[in-house]
Amino acid sequence: MSQPDSFIDEVTEEVRRDRLYGYLRRYGWIAVLLVLLIVGGAAWREYRAAQQEAAAQEFGSAIYAALDAETAEERAAALAEVQAPEGGAEAILAMLRAGEQSSAEGADTAAASETLNAVNVSGENDIYRQIAHFKALTREGVDAQTRQSGFAAMAEGGPLRLMAEEQLALLEIEAGETDAALTRLQGIRQDSEVTQGLRLRASQLIVALGGSIEDAS
C-alpha cells in the first residue's frame, strides 16, 4: 500500500471515529436512559413481589389467629377485623366469615348473606368473588326472583356457568315449569365442559321428572 493510500485510510478512520464519538455525545443519553429503565423496572418488580408476599403472609397469619378463637361468634368478629389484600382475598375472607356466622349459636343467616353480598362481583373476573356471589344466592331467605336474575347473569359465562344453569333448572322445577327444566338439564348433560358429578345430578333430575336420557353422540 502506498503512503497516499495509507494516509487516506488513516484520515477516513479518524473521520469515522469522530462521527462515532459525535453520535455518542448526542444520543448516548438514550442508551443510558434505557439501561436505567430496565434496571429500575426489574428492581420495582422485585419490590412489588416482596410486598405482595409479605401481605399474603400477614393475611394468612391474621386469619389463622382469628380462627383460633373459641366460639363461632368470636371467630366471626375477629375475621371482620382482618384486612384483606388485593385480589380474591376479600372473597375468601367473606366466605370464612359467613361460615362462622352461620354456625354461631342462634345463627344469623341474614348477616351471613349480607357478608357474602358485600363482596364486589362487578370488578375483575375472579373465581373467588363468583363463588362468594354463588353462595350468597343459595342461602336461605333469598327470594326466587333474586336468585333467578343472579344465576341468569352467571350462566352467561364464566367458570360457574353450568352450576348456575343447574340452579336455574331447580328454580324452574319449583315454579312448575317442567318442560323448561328438562330442556335446560339436557343442555347441561350435553355440554362439553360439564363435570361427571354435574352430569350425574342432571341425569337423576331428568329421570325424576319423567324425562329420558338422551346421550349426545
Give residue-wise pLDDT tens across range 39-91.
Answer: 888 888 887 777 777 777 887 888 888 888 888 888 888 888 888 776 677 77
CB 81 within 8 A of CB 97: no
Confidence grade of residue 125 (pLDDT, cut at 50, 70, 90): very low
End-to-end Cα spacing for the chain: 85
Average pLDDT of the residues of the chain:
79
Report the predicted TM-score, pTM, of the whole model to 2 decimal places.
Answer: 0.57
User: Which pLDDT belongs to residue 216?
Assistant: 41
Q: At what angle do helices 178-190 and 196-208 cross, to 10 degrees?
A: 150
CA–CA dist 43, 116 (Å, integer): 38
Which pLDDT does position 121 carry in this prediction? 52
183: Cβ–Cβ under 8 A, 6 or more apart, which residues? none
Structure-model confidence comparison of residues 69 and 214, the more confident one = 69
How far, in Å, CA of 99 to CA of 97, rounded?
5
CA 84-140-134 angle, 5° bins: 45
Whether the Cβ atoms of residue 118 and residue 129 lie closer than 8 Å to each other: no
163-167: average pLDDT: 94
Name the pLDDT band for 104 (thresholds 50, 70, 90). low
pLDDT bin (cut points 50, 70, 90) of residue 164 is very high
Between CA 138 and CA 53 the distance in angstroms is 34
Q: What is the 3-state secondary structure (H, E, C) of 148-165?
A: HHHHHHHCCCCCCHHHHH
217 band by pLDDT with thresholds 50, 70 and 90: very low
CB 188 within 8 A of CB 161: no
Percent of the chain with pLDDT over 90: 21
Structure-model confidence comparison of residues 36 and 28, the more confident one: 36
pLDDT score recorded for residue 93 = 81
Query: 11 or 80: whose pLDDT is higher?
Result: 80
